[in-house]
Amino acid sequence: MKKQLLLPMCLFPALATAHPGHDHTAGTSTLLHTLMFISILAVAAVGIKFYQNKKTKTKKDHNGDQ
pLDDT digits (tens, 9 = 90+) for 25-54: 778 888 988 999 999 999 999 999 999 988
Q: Would you say the pTM of this structure is higher than 0.75?
A: no
pLDDT reading at 7 higher than 60: yes
Report yes or no: 21 and 28 within 8 Å, Cβ to Cβ. Answer: no
Please report, as a single letter, which amino acid is at residue 34. T
Distance of CA 47 to the CA centre of its chain: 11
Alpha-carbon distance 17 to 53, whole Å? 35
Backbone angles phi, psi at 18, to 5 degrees: -80, 160
Please report, as a single letter, which amino acid is at residue 44. A
Specify the pLDDT at position 64.
60
Alpha-carbon distance 56 to 50, whole Å? 10
